[in-house]
Amino acid sequence: MHISLSFHLPPFLYSFAKFLVMKKIIECVPNFSEGRDMHIIKQITDAIESVEGVRLLNVDPGKGTNRTVVTFVGDEKEVVEAAFKGIYKAAELIDMAKHKGEHPRFGATDVCPFIPIANATMEDCIKCAQKLGERVGKELKIPVYLYEYAASAEHRKNLASVRHGEYEGIEQKIVLPDWKPDFGPSKWNEKSGNIAIGARDFLVAYNVNLNTTSVRRANSVAFDVREAGRKVKNEKGEEVLQPGACKAVKGIGWYLPEYGIAQVSMNLTNINTTPVHIAFDECVKSAYNRGMRVTGSELVGLIPLKAMLDAGKYFLLKQNRSAGVSEGELIKIAAKSMGLDELTQFEPEKRIIEYMLADNNSSPLVNMSLIEFANETASESPAPGGGSIAAYIGALGVSLGTMVANLSSHKKGWDDRWKEFSDWAEKGQHLKDELLKLVDEDTRAFNKIMEAFSLPKSNDSEKIARKKAIAEATKYAIEIPFKVMQLSFQTLEVIKAMAEIGNPNSVSDAGVGALCARSAVYGAYLNVKINASGYEDKAYADNVLRQADEILRNTKNFETEILKLVESKIK
């Protein structure tokens, strides 16, 4: 595709990135002490959404807990303003003197944490907590305690310590010197209670369902699993702490009357330390050892995509099955394995934070049907052109190699080799996803060039700005197809391995994959070459072309080797 005709938005799964890089993104997750009256909840979320720039991601009410977890994002100024409006409305509508629920609580807005998501630091979130706390204390006369990273003292870091005694114990606790509020009056606010405002890392609120109605039995599982464990007596009769199985996990047991079950309610404060699937399996083990059974689980609020993908891979590998399947399939396996849809329908697009932040219009090409894509390519529009098609061909080629790997991992009599093929399939899936991103990215690159050429040039400063924009866009239009070349070349390793050791009945598929990979590399090469010809930095252009020529030569040699291997096996 020539630059005078040729090169749009970031790719699928990373389509939210453009939104993120534009400004700091901070997540706020206030918990309101109302989970039954949807009219009240709606008024609170309407107040939050009234702030321009804020995106409401999730509203998760619980009848048994009588509590609603709300998740929204924005920059520092936006999230503080939206949080204040939500707290203000909750103070107006919720009377804590009448509140009853299973979850520990001590205020109409019980907690309000800030979490760094993109281009934001924990220090930014601490400042948000301090600004909000000062305003809530001053304007609403609600006692405020700062917790976690925003805590003003060591004994206030742990939310459980701050909230200890709950609403019923505030009147006595608030007058103690150690529990003087950070902001607001040091006296009991009977209607609104207190509020804990903090800054913390991303936390996953996760509940595991048990086939019992006993809170005591649910607590026994929670104590087995949570980091704090339980108090036990040693051989001297002294009480000591016996740690639980999972670090960075807090948990208690409770009963949910609307479902007639008890749950282990957990906060996973570091999912790199204890992932969701490990917390789930530890609950399964503990419940089984205590004569119970885990029947499912539920998420409260949002979860990162990686946590779901890791869970899907974990459960597939436990079954000695290939983990090299699509993202959608991994999420499905994770949800089914952990029973995330037992109580309510699990909808990934409403529960996974990356999906909630995604711009669904940013990957128009890869979201088309095959017919739509072909028709769009054949239309009078100059994009998608050769660069996008090359990326797509590369994705199809490695998809064939990945298919052979997955078929081989399930082949009867090859049970001892399933992990080897699973590893190849995972590598193939990764390359496929990266190439699919570049289908739309190539069109984005073309659009950048067109936009640069359309800039005004009526005076010297405009001419300089236009020239600079054209140069930057042209360089980008070289980089994208060059990336397609690199990735498509890498796919040949997967394809060759499958031609050599994969299911012999599918060797022709590996051959077609090699042909696709070679076409992808060559097609992208033509785009690199034509765009480099118009780039003023000749040293840069010549260096890229030297690398591109080498990739093309190696690709042709690789393709020849694979096709000979395929032909020999077919004969």
Give the pLDDT band of residue 346 (cuts 50, 70, 90).
very high
pLDDT at residue 13 is higher than 60: no
Per the CB < 8 A criterion, the answer to whether 405 and 428 are in contact is yes
Kindly report the backbone phi and psi dihedral angles of residue 509, in degrees, each rounded to the nearest multiple of 5, phi listed first. -65, -35
The predicted pLDDT at position 369 comes to: 93
pLDDT at 382: 86
Residue whose entry in the numeric block shows the structure tokens 């998740």: 71
- Work out the average pLDDT over 499-515: 96
pLDDT at 7 exceeding the cut of 50:
no
pLDDT at 2 > cutoff 80: no
Taking the C-alpha atoms of residue 91 and residue 69, their distance in angstroms, rounded to an integer, is 16
Residue 235 confidence (pLDDT): 87
* 122-130: average pLDDT: 97
The reply to whether 442 belongs to the active site is yes
Task: Please name which of 9, 10, 16 lies closest in space to residue 356, comparing C-alpha atoms.
Answer: 16
Bridge partners, 207 (sequence order):
265, 298
- Kindly report, residue by residue over 520-532, the tens digit of the pLDDT: 999 999 999 999 9
Please report the domains of the chain, with CATH numbers, ordered by start residue. Answer: 17-199 (3.30.990.10), 204-357 (3.30.70.670), 370-570 (1.20.120.680)
- In the chain, % of residues over pLDDT 90: 84
Active-site residue, 103 included:
yes
Confirm if 105 and 99 have CB atoms less than 8 A apart: yes
DSSP 21-46: HTS-EEEE--EES-SS-HHHHHHHHH
Query: Smallest Cα–Cα separation from 161: which of 201, 98, 111, 115?
Result: 111
- On the question of a cis peptide bond just before residue 384, with omega within 30 degrees of 0, the verdict is yes
Question: Which of these is catalytic: 75, 224, 310, 442?
Answer: 442
Per-residue confidence (pLDDT) for residue 3, from 0 to 100: 30
Res 9 pLDDT > 70: no
pLDDT value of residue 360:
66
Whole-model pTM above 0.75?
yes
By the 8 A CB rule, do 195 and 182 touch? no
* pLDDT at residue 148 is higher than 50: yes
Query: What is the mean pLDDT of the segment spanning 31-45?
Result: 96
Q: How far apart are CA 428 and CA 424, in angstroms?
A: 6
| Catalytic choice (60, 103, 182, 277) | 103
The C-alpha atoms of residue 347 and residue 44 are separated, in whole angstroms, by 23
Residue 569 CA to residue 502 CA, distance in Å, equals: 11
Q: What stretch of H or E contains 329? A: helix 327-337
Tens-digit pLDDT profile for residues 209-234: 999 999 999 999 999 999 999 999 88
Cβ(230)–Cβ(216) under 8 Å?
no
